[in-house]
Structures are given as structure tokens and as C-alpha cells.
């Protein structure tokens, strides 16, 4: 049954705190190859899960895909895919429609210039006012590091996760290529990192630093001395020298031996965030890949960091699912921690509703970010935005029904968590667009 708060939420513009959209040039180049599978976003991982421990090898890939989709369609990822397909093409996402969906998608792509296509999908269909983008703006892809490659309502995160889990010299070599300098010392390395940040900031609207190291290592960060970090750097950079009596061309050090350098650089990044007054987004909780260990991605591992850097704002992405209650307790106790629901609605809609309801009871609502699509293609934002709106509306309806909120309070909360909190974090205004 429609309610006034549901209508308000379904029409409320969104602040998208996290995305991975391609630059215009890349989109135009790859566009002819986009098909029905691009509507799936992270649902691809659910196909692997649905196949089980002994996946079938019978039939071709298309047949196996078609056989597994009925099992996947009910997950959060699957639901978002269904919503996108219905809203954009009026079609059910089903094997018998896959060819037609591809035709409709290609027709949509050809229907207007790429800049207008992004506006159509994000502004008109998803009703998104701001997008924070990540993933195609790294230090080693300079072609994408210009504002001209994205709409004006995009801002960007700087990210180089390889710095924090270094076991060989490849991240150092990437920085040398980017800066055109030689890196011979720990100081040189720090200078190169800061140079890439400065260049990035000069090229785009820099929204935050992004840390996704939870895919490669745990979030526990030590406090190494400079000497410990320098020893790890020397062992990595000068691997051809005998190290511990061993010489080899592969990984120069073990993860344990390289850890002091990664932790040292993490602290350097947070010091830069403090100096620049930039938020730090941290991936936490469930990874977007199969067989990924989640133990180390619990946001509680970062408690010493939150305490040490009290003037740095930490946006903890993906609701730290499945540790949503723990994140709520952390955000209640640490004024510099902001819980962020990007991708969470896709991961687990019911769990996200419970998390948001808990958070609203325990945390001042100006600290909560309710939406981030976290997709690779702008059409996926359409279903993800609908999914988030449905969840937010259900939570606020329950608050009103229970007598905790008046309709006016519910609208105030919705506008804050869906848009205003993000604008305040970035220091932008809706009047700009």
C-alpha cells in the first residue's frame, strides 16, 4: 500500500557515494560489445555460488547460465537486475528474452551521445544528483584522469591498494612510470605517492581517498617504525641482492615481511587525508568475489586507527555486512566514523533494512549514507536505486507505524540520508547542478 513517506522516498534525489563507471572514451570503445550480461553487475558471483561445489560441465556456457538464472534471480543482486530490465525495457530478465534485452540495450546505447546517455540513465531514470566514482581513475590510467571524461556531477576517489600489501616492486614501478621519477628510498616513495595525489587533485574533483585493501589483506594496521618500513622497502626494491641468503625473481618478501611498509604507507595516506581534510572510504565486509575471505574485512579491526586519527572522517562502505550491528556501535561511539550503505542493498536487502532501522535508533541520522550503486555500467544504477528506495521507505514506514517518527520527521531523515549528508561531506550544494 502506497504511503506518503513511500512516495516521498521514491521521488527523493540520491547521493551515490560509490560507483565504478567507465570514462566516456572507454564506454564508447567497448559499447558495441555490451549485452544482457552487463545488467547483472555483481550477480555473476551468485551464479558461481548457485553452481555449488561441483558445478556442471554439461552443455555450453549459455545453457549453464540459463539453467542457473532461476536460482539467482531471488538474491539481492538478482532482484536489482530484474528491476533494471523491467524499468528500462519492459522485459522480464529471463533466458527467452536475453537476445531481445541485448538488442534493446544496444538500441539504448546508440540512441544518444554518451554524455546524454549518462544523464538519461543517472539523472532521469535513477534520479541521482551526485556520483562519487572509483575504479577507472587510478594513478596508472592517466587517460581517465580528467573531468571531461565524466559528467560534471561526478567526483572521484584516489586509490592505490597495492601500496598496502606490497611484496614485490610492481607498485613502485607503476609510480615511477606515472611520475617520471626514480624511486630509490622510502622518502622517494612517499614523495611519489604524494605527487600522484596532487596531480589527481589538479585534474578532477577529488572527493575522498579510497582503500580497498580488504580484498588483499586484513584491515588490522600496525604502527611500524621508519626503520622497519625502510627495511621492507629495501628488500622489495632491491630484490636481486641476496635477502636472507636467498635470491629470486618472484615475490621479493613474504606478506609478513612486507607488512611494515604497507602499514607505514597507510599512516602516510591518513596524514595526507588529515592535511587535505579529505574523507577516507574503506571497503569493509563481504567481498564481491567468490572464495574471498571476509574475516579480515571487519571494520572493528580499524578501531585503533579511528582513535588515532580523530579528525579524519572514515566512511565505512557496504555497511560492513555481515557486521552491520558492530558498525552501528562503532559509529555511535566514534564521531569520525560514518556508516555507508553503498552496495549493501544489493548484497542483502532484508539485512540492510534491519541495519538501517538499528542505525537510525542508535546513531544521529546526519552520519548515515543510505545509497551507493557500486556498479560498472550506468544502466545498473536504475535497479539499484529502486532497490535502495524500497528499503529506505519500508524502514521509515515502520518507524511511523510504531509511533517513533512523525511523517515530517521521516521526510527529514530520508532527505538527509539519501542526499544532504553526502552533499555536506563533499561540500557541494544542489544549487550547483
234 sits in which H/E element: helix 226-237
155-183 mean pLDDT: 93
135-149 mean pLDDT: 59
pLDDT at 231: 94
Helix spans in 111-166 (H): 114-118
Task: Decide: 5 and 396 in contact? Cβ < 8 Å.
Answer: yes
pLDDT: which is higher, 135 or 78: 78
User: Locate cell 626494491: which residue?
Assistant: 237
Domain ranges of the chain: 4-158+279-432, 160-205+218-268
Asked if the model's pLDDT at residue 428 lies above 80, the reply is no
Helix spans in 90-217 (H): 98-110, 114-118, 170-179, 186-203
pLDDT tens for 374-415 read 999 999 999 999 999 999 999 999 999 999 999 999 999 999
* Omega prior to 322 cis, within 30 of 0: yes
Asked if the model's pLDDT at residue 327 lies above 90, the reply is yes
Q: How much of the chain exceeds pLDDT 90, in percent?
A: 79
> Domain 4-158+279-432 - what CATH class?
alpha beta
299-319 mean pLDDT: 97
Asked if the model's pLDDT at residue 282 lies above 60, the reply is yes
Close Cβ partners of 431 (under 8 Å, ≥ 6 residues apart): none
Rounded-to-integer distance, Cα 165 and Cα 175, Å = 15
Cell of 94: 529471463
Asked if the model's pLDDT at residue 239 lies above 90, the reply is no
What dihedral do alpha carbons 160, 161, 164, 170 form, nearest 10°?
A: -70
Helix spans in 246-342 (H): 255-276, 303-308, 324-333
Read out DSSP for 352-389? HHHHHHHHHHHS-GGG-B------SSTTHHHHHHHHHH
Asked if the model's pLDDT at residue 76 lies above 90, the reply is yes
Sheet containing 314-316: order of strands: 14-19, 128-133, 154-158, 206-211, 280-282, 314-316, 337-339
pLDDT at 355: 98
Close Cβ partners of 331 (under 8 Å, ≥ 6 residues apart): 316, 337, 338, 339, 359, 363, 367
pLDDT at 292: 84
pLDDT at 303: 98
Rounded-to-integer distance, Cα 319 and Cα 340, Å = 5
Give the residue among 183, 134, 144 at the shortest CA–CA distance from 340. Answer: 134
Asked if the model's pLDDT at residue 142 lies above 80, the reply is no
User: Locate cell 544482457: which residue?
Assistant: 36
pLDDT tens for 36-47 read 999 998 898 999
User: Locate cell 555500467: which residue?
Assistant: 377
Task: Decide: 244 and 252 in contact? Cβ < 8 Å.
Answer: no
pLDDT at 148: 85
Give the residue among 343, 372, 344, 374 at the shortest CA–CA distance from 358. Answer: 344
Q: How much of the chain exceeds pLDDT 70, in percent?
A: 92
pLDDT tens for 270-280 read 999 999 999 99
pLDDT band at residue 253 using 50, 70 and 90 as cut-offs:
confident
Enumerate long-range contacts of 85-90, CB under 8 Å, 24 or more apart.
85/39, 85/383, 87/125, 87/382, 87/383, 87/386, 88/125, 88/379, 88/382
Rounded-to-integer distance, Cα 77 and Cα 345, Å = 9
pLDDT at 143: 46
Q: In three state form, how does the secondary structure of 21-74 look?
A: CCCHHHHHHHHHHCCHHHHCCCHHHHHHHHHCCCCCCCCCHHHHHHHHHHHHCC
Task: Decide: 328 and 363 in contact? Cβ < 8 Å.
Answer: yes
pLDDT at 367: 97
Q: Please state whether 187 falls in left (phi above 0), alpha (psi between -120 and 50) or beta.
A: alpha
Rounded-to-integer distance, Cα 179 and Cα 199, Å = 9
Count Cβ neighbours within 10 Å for each residue of 237-275 and write b for 16 or more, e otherwise: bebeeebeeeeeeeebbeeebbbbbbbbbbbbbbebbee
25-43 mean pLDDT: 94
Rounded-to-integer distance, Cα 419 and Cα 126, Å = 13
Amino acid at each position: 500500500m502506497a504511503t506518503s513517506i513511500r512516495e516521498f522516498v521514491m521521488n527523493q534525489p540520491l547521493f551515490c557515494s560509490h560507483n565504478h563507471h567507465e570514462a566516456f572514451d572507454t564506454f564508447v570503445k567497448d559499447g558495441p560489445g555490451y549485452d544482457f550480461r552487463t545488467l547483472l553487475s555483481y550477480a555473476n558471483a551468485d551464479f558461481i555460488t548457485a553452481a555449488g561445489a561441483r558445478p556442471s560441465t554439461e552443455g555450453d556456457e549459455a545453457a549453464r547460465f540459463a539453467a542457473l538464472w532461476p536460482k539467482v534471480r531471488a538474491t539481492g543482486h538478482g532482484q536489482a537486475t530484474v528491476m533494471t530490465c523491467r524499468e528500462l525495457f519492459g522485459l522480464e530478465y529471463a533466458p527467452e528474452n536475453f537476445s531481445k534485452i541485448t538488442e534493446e540495450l544496444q538500441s539504448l546505447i546508440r540512441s544518444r551521445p554518451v554524455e546524454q546517455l549518462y544523464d538519461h540513465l543517472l539523472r532521469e531514470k535513477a534520479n541521482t544528483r551526485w556520483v562519487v566514482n572509483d575504479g577507472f581513475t587510478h594513478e596508472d590510467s592517466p587517460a581517465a584522469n580528467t573531468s571531461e571524461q565524466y559528467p560534471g556531477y561526478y567526483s572521484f576517489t584516489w586509490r592505490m591498494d597495492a601500496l598496502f600489501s606490497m611484496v614485490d616492486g610492481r607498485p613502485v614501478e607503476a609510480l615511477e612510470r606515472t611520475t617520471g621519477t626514480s624511486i630509490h628510498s622510502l622518502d622517494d616513495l612517499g614523495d611519489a605517492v604524494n605527487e600522484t595525489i596532487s596531480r589527481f587533485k589538479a585534474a578532477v574533483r577529488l572527493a575522498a581517498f579510497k582503500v580497498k585493501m580488504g580484498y588483499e589483506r586484513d584491515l588490522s594496521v600496525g604502527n611500524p617504525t621508519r626503520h622497519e618500513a625502510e627495511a621492507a622497502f629495501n628488500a622489495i626494491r632491491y630484490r636481486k641482492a641476496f635477502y636472507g641468503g636467498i635470491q629470486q625473481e618472484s615475490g621479493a618478501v613474504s606478506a609478513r615481511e612486507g607488512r611494515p611498509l604497507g602499514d607505514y604507507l597507510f599512516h602516510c595516506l591518513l596524514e595526507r587525508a588529515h592535511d587535505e581534510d579529505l574523507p577516507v572510504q574503506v571497503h569493509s565486509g563481504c567481498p564481491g568475489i567468490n572464495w574471498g575471505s571476509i574475516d579480515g574485512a571487519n571494520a572493528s579491526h580499524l578501531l585503533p586507527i579511528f582513535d588515532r586519527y580523530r579528525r579524519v572522517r572514515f566512511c565505512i562502505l557496504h555497511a560492513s555486512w555481515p557486521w552491520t550491528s558492530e558498525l552501528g556501535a562503532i559509529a555511535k561511539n566514534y564521531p569520525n566514523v560514518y556508516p555507508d550503505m553503498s552496495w549493501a542493498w544489493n548484497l542483502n536487502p532484508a539485512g540492510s533494512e534491519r541495519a538501517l532501522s538499528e542505525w537510525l535508533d542508535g546513531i544521529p541520522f546526519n552520519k548515515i549514507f543510505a545509497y551507493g550503486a557500486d556498479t560498472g555500467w550506468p544502466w545498473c544504477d536504475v535497479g539499484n536505486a529502486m532497490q535502495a528506495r524500497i528499503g529506505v521507505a519500508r524502514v521509515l514506514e515502520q518507524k511511523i507505524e510504531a509511533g517513533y517518527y512523525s511523517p515530517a520527521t521521516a521526510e527529514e531523515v530520508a532527505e538527509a540520508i539519501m542526499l544532504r549528508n553526502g552533499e555536506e561531506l563533499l561540500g557541494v550544494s544542489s544549487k550547483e547542478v
